[in-house]
Amino acid sequence: MSLQPGDALTSHNFGLQIDGVMVEYLAEVSGLSIEQDVITYQQNTPNGQNVVKNLPGVKKNGTCTVVRGMTQSASFTQWINESITGQMTTARKNASIIMMDFQNNPVKRYHLRNAWCSKIDASTVKAGEASALTETVTITFEELVIE
């Protein structure tokens, strides 16, 4: 690994794998988070003092958003279409957001279990505009595991 003590990963060096296949032309990832309920438990000690404890509760599922260039990537488009048309037996896939060091070695992974596309937004098209077209895809997942 090329990171030295005190170095941080850069935000521009990442990738998305879907069922082990790297997806091309990904511009942005946002919204990766893990959340779980917090259970507050109160009890009295034998000498009558009140003690308050916070305990971990149930993990929650979540969503993240990816922005990709509008390309002819058949596998990603097929995944979106399977999700949107409700073909959940094939739409639910395991995906990973992979953070890489300066030499493109994987350093950190965010595994999204049973992920599927729940929303897609195409960028605005405008006559005379000179910009790349993108698709913003919301990915819903059942569990996020950080490795």
Tell me the two tokens of residue 51.
């003690």
Query: Model-level pTM?
Result: 0.81
**CA geometry: angle 119, 117, 106, nearest 5 deg:** 125
Q: Please, are residues 75 and 91 in contact by the beta-carbon 8 Å criterion?
A: no
Radius of gyration of the chain (CA): 20
Residue pLDDT, tens place only, 28-86: 999 988 889 999 999 999 999 999 999 999 988 999 999 988 877 788 888 889 999 99
**Pairing outcome for strands 14-18 and 93-100:** antiparallel
pLDDT class for 25, splitting at 50, 70, 90?
Answer: low
Instruction: Give the separation between CA 67 and CA 71, rounded to whole angstroms.
Output: 12
The pLDDT of residue 146 is above 80:
yes
Burial of 131 (0-12, 13-18, 19+ CB in 10 A): exposed
Q: Residue 34: its pLDDT value, please?
A: 84
**CA geometry: angle 146, 111, 135, nearest 5 deg:** 125
Q: Residue 24: its pLDDT value, please?
A: 65
The pLDDT of residue 142 is above 90:
yes
Of the candidate CATH numbers 2.40.390, 1.10.3470, 2.30.110, 3.40.50, the domain formed by 14-146 belongs to 2.30.110
Three-state DSSP class for residue 45: coil
Tokens 């990603």, residue located: 76
Instruction: Give the separation between CA 28 and CA 127, rounded to whole angstroms.
Output: 25
pLDDT class for 21, splitting at 50, 70, 90?
Answer: confident
The pLDDT of residue 90 is above 60:
yes
Q: Residue 2: its pLDDT value, please?
A: 64
Q: Residue 9: its pLDDT value, please?
A: 65
Residue pLDDT, tens place only, 100-125: 887 888 888 999 999 999 999 999 88
How much helix, strand and coil, in percent to the nearest 5, is found in the chain? 10, 50, 35
